[in-house]
């Protein structure tokens, strides 16, 4: 596949969808025409890179739970390890040609031998992030975020991991030099350090970075190339003096890099979900794999907006996308701003509410300016979040199965509205009813439930669904739900629970992975004032619309 023709462009743009209902209807079912809003990608935020010496670049795909190979001649992307085993934050090749990768969420270190056998060689290391071999074949890994330590791991998995250092300041993408010392960045300290893994001695090589995320040697091993995620810079560091030189300026969100034998530097950007190659002699930049979105999840559209512009929680960015033309008009990027990995989005008259189980918080933004007004920590697998008319927030906590109210004023006190839900994910308000309430999808139980706001009383609207996630209100009052387990889009009548299937065979629903809350990467649904339905695809990193046919 050419990098200029992402996956999804060749899909038929018109798909006639057939209704299947659990009850006979008096009127013909609605018919929709499926269209692409934003075409997809092979990745869901690309991370670690490694050059295999055979004309391919290996790339890790954490949220997509895959390991890929990119043909550097054609840009074609193939999958080496698919979900759920391939949830890799970083990867490397061992001396025998085995592929090793780190599971950030699972805390597992994986190995795939040249004959294709895959096995777990280490467990119990949450936040497992970067890894590299020393020249003598010893393997080292780090924990970042969910831990902060450097470990030595048996490459064959016969012996338990041995901790070398702890509390370093998040040692990320590193490499060993010809002196058998480890060279890598400390994210929290803005430094590049050299570590003697035998003694634990550590010294600073260079400093003054905003957020260095990875460092690799050039072909002569005289310089280190460093990517700075916040400044979007590729920096060359001279080992002998620590002197720094900016080689190329790129978009912010850089995650990792790999240096080829010809000294070409391949750089991954998780925000833009792409890979570029930099020629360090002149700083020129060329695309290798391109994308328009990273990981589109939650969706919202203002009911009064005739242009039906979409608010997209794109995990590594918050974006505005034209529902009719697919044009991306605004992006707020993580790392370089205080925004924290948005996965769900909702709108009120003045605010945008974002929530994220990635770093565990809810954020309230000014809808006009985009300024972040509040950040409220929540580590209970937070999913959907709404602002109610009185200014309080209603938040779905997927892990304990609760809906909680969060006070409008600071400090933000929390009150449980209802509990006993089984994986609440999607929320949509019904606050104009005589008894105001909210509809919630329960991914574990397969129910859509209405919760009364006055006292938390619950009523089952429908059951028997398989992994319902995104939910939205149609202008006529119907509920539109992404039934991820059956890969279809359904309509539910809120008073009777009657179900109508609107679309089937959808490319949605990456498998759940160990260490993640229910419905972790939600499939988003939104409905425009025209009745057009919008859907995010986590499998394809794409956006689709379903236009009603007269």
Among 289, 313, 342, the domain boundary falls at: 289
- The reply to whether 100 falls in a domain is yes
**Same domain membership, residue 165 and residue 209:** yes
pLDDT digits (tens, 9 = 90+) for 243-281: 999 999 999 999 999 999 899 999 999 999 999 999 999
Of 340, 283, 130, the residue nearest 214 (C-alpha)? 130
Mean pLDDT of 516-523: 90
Of 173, 182, 313, 188, the residue nearest 256 (C-alpha)? 173
- The reply to whether 1 falls in a domain is no
pLDDT digits (tens, 9 = 90+) for 178-231: 999 999 999 999 999 999 999 999 999 999 999 999 999 998 888 999 999 999
CATH at 435: 2.120.10.30
The residues facing 415 across adjacent strands are 405
Quick check: 2 pLDDT over 80? no
> 36: part of which helix (H) or strand (E)?
strand 32-38
Angle, CA of 192, 195 and 201, to the nearest 5°: 125
Quick check: 295 pLDDT over 80? yes
Mean pLDDT of 433-450: 96
pLDDT in the model for residue 7 = 41
pLDDT in the model for residue 410 = 81
**Same domain membership, residue 197 and residue 158:** yes
Share of the chain above pLDDT 70, in %: 95
The residues facing 176 across adjacent strands are 182
pLDDT in the model for residue 25 = 39
- The reply to whether 408 falls in a domain is yes
**Same domain membership, residue 468 and residue 367:** yes
Among 289, 316, 342, the domain boundary falls at: 289
Quick check: 148 pLDDT over 90? yes
How high is the mean pLDDT of the chain?
92
Mean pLDDT of 13-20: 35
More confident residue, 14 or 289: 289
Q: Are 51 and 260 contacting, i.e. CB atoms less than 8 angstroms apart?
A: yes
Share of the chain above pLDDT 90, in %: 86
Q: How confident is the model at residue 12 (pLDDT cuts 50, 70, 90)?
A: very low
Mean pLDDT of 389-410: 95
Those residues whose C-beta lies under 8 Å from the C-beta of residue 390, and which sit 6 or more positions away, are 408
* Residue span of the structural domain in which 535 resides: 293-548
Among 289, 309, 340, the domain boundary falls at: 289
User: What is the dihedral sign for C-alpha 485, 25, 17, 427?
Assistant: negative
Mean pLDDT of 416-436: 95
CATH at 173: 2.130.10.10
pLDDT in the model for residue 87 = 87
**Same domain membership, residue 344 and residue 237:** no
pLDDT in the model for residue 515 = 75
- The reply to whether 79 falls in a domain is yes
Number of other CB atoms surrounding residue 448 within 10 Å: 26
Quick check: 297 pLDDT over 80? yes
- The reply to whether 29 falls in a domain is no
Residue 130: exposed, middle, or buried by beta-carbon count in 10 A (0-12, 13-18, 19+)? buried
Flag whether the pTM goes above 0.85.
yes
**Same domain membership, residue 430 and residue 381:** yes
Number of domains in the chain: 2
**Same domain membership, residue 356 and residue 247:** no
**Same domain membership, residue 216 and residue 178:** yes
pLDDT in the model for residue 27 = 55
Q: Are 333 and 252 contacting, i.e. CB atoms less than 8 angstroms apart?
A: yes
Those residues whose C-beta lies under 8 Å from the C-beta of residue 48, and which sit 6 or more positions away, are 59, 60, 88, 89, 90, 91, 92, 101, 102, 130, 173, 255, 256, 268
- The reply to whether 13 falls in a domain is no
- The reply to whether 160 falls in a domain is yes
**Same domain membership, residue 283 and residue 325:** no
DSSP annotation string for 320-376 = EEETTT--EEEEEESSSSS-----EEEE-SSEEEEEETTTTEEEEEETTT--EEEEE
**Same domain membership, residue 79 and residue 187:** yes
**Least confident interval from 144-148, 242-246, 422-426:** 144-148
- The reply to whether 446 falls in a domain is yes
**Same domain membership, residue 305 and residue 266:** no
**Same domain membership, residue 143 and residue 115:** yes
pLDDT in the model for residue 22 = 36
Mean pLDDT of 462-486: 97
Of 76, 81, 78, the residue nearest 91 (C-alpha)? 81
**Same domain membership, residue 240 and residue 108:** yes
Pair of tokens at residue 29: 């079912």
Alpha carbon 183 to its chain centroid, in Å, reads: 28
Q: What is the Cα–Cα distance from 213 to 387, expressed in whole angstroms?
A: 35
């Amino acid at each position: 596949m050419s990098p200029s023709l992402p996956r999804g462009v060749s899909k038929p743009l018109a798909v006639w969808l057939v209704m299947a209902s659990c009850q006979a209807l008096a009127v013909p079912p609605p018919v929709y025409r499926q269209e692409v809003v934003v075409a997809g990608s092979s990745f869901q935020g690309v991370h670690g890179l490694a050059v295999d010496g055979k004309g391919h670049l290996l790339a890790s795909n954490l949220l997509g739970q895959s390991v890929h190979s990119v043909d550097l001649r054609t840009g074609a992307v193939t999958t080496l390890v698919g979900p759920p085993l391939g949830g890799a934050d970083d990867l490397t090749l061992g001396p025998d040609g085995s592929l090793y990768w780190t599971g950030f969420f699972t805390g597992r270190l994986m190995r795939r031998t040249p004959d294709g056998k895959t096995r777990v060689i280490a467990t119990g290391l949450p936040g497992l992030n970067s890894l590299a071999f020393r020249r003598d074949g010893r393997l080292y890994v780090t924990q970042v975020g969910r831990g902060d330590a450097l470990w030595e791991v048996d490459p064959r998995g016969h012996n338990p991991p041995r901790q070398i250092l702890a509390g370093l300041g998040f040692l990320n993408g590193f490499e060993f030099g010809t002196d058998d010392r480890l060279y890598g960045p400390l994210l929290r300290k803005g430094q590049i350090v050299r570590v003697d893994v035998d003694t634990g001695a550590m010294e600073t090589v260079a400093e003054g970075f905003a957020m260095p995320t990875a460092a690799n040697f050039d072909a002569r091993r005289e310089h280190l190339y460093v990517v700075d995620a916040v400044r979007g810079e590729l920096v060359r560091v001279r080992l002998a003096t620590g002197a720094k030189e900016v080689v190329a300026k790129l978009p912010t969100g850089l995650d990792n890099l790999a240096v080829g034998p010809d000294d070409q530097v391949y750089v991954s950007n998780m925000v833009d979900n792409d890979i570029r190659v930099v020629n360090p002699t002149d700083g020129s930049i060329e695309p290798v794999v391109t994308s328009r979105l990273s990981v589109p999840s939650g969706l919202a559209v203002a009911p009064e907006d005739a242009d039906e512009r979409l608010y997209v929680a794109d995990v590594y960015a918050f974006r505005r996308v034209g529902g009719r033309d697919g044009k991306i008009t605004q992006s707020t990027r993580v790392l370089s701003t205080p925004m924290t990995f948005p996965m769900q989005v909702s709108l009120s008259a003045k605010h945008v509410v974002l929530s994220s189980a990635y770093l565990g918080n809810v954020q309230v933004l000014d809808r006009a300016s985009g300024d972040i007004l509040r950040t409220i920590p929540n580590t209970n697998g937070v999913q959907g979040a709404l602002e109610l008319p009185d200014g309080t927030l209603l938040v779905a906590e997927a892990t304990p199965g609760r809906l909680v109210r969060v006070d409008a004023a600071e400090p933000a006190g929390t009150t449980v509205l209802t509990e006993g839900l089984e994986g609440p994910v999607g929320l949509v308000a019904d606050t104009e009813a005589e008894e105001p309430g909210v509809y919630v999808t329960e991914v574990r139980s397969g129910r859509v439930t209405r919760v009364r706001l006055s006292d938390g009383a619950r009523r089952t609207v429908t059951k028997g669904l398989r992994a319902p996630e995104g939910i939205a209100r149609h202008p006529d009052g119907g509920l539109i739900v992404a039934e991820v387990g059956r890969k279809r889009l359904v309509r539910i009548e809120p008073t009777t629970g009657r179900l109508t299937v609107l679309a089937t065979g959808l490319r949605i629903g990456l498998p759940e992975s160990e260490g993640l809350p229910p419905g972790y990467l939600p499939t988003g649904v939104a409905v425009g004032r025209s009745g057009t339905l919008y859907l995010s695809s986590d499998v394809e990193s794409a956006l689709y619309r379903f236009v009603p046919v007269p």
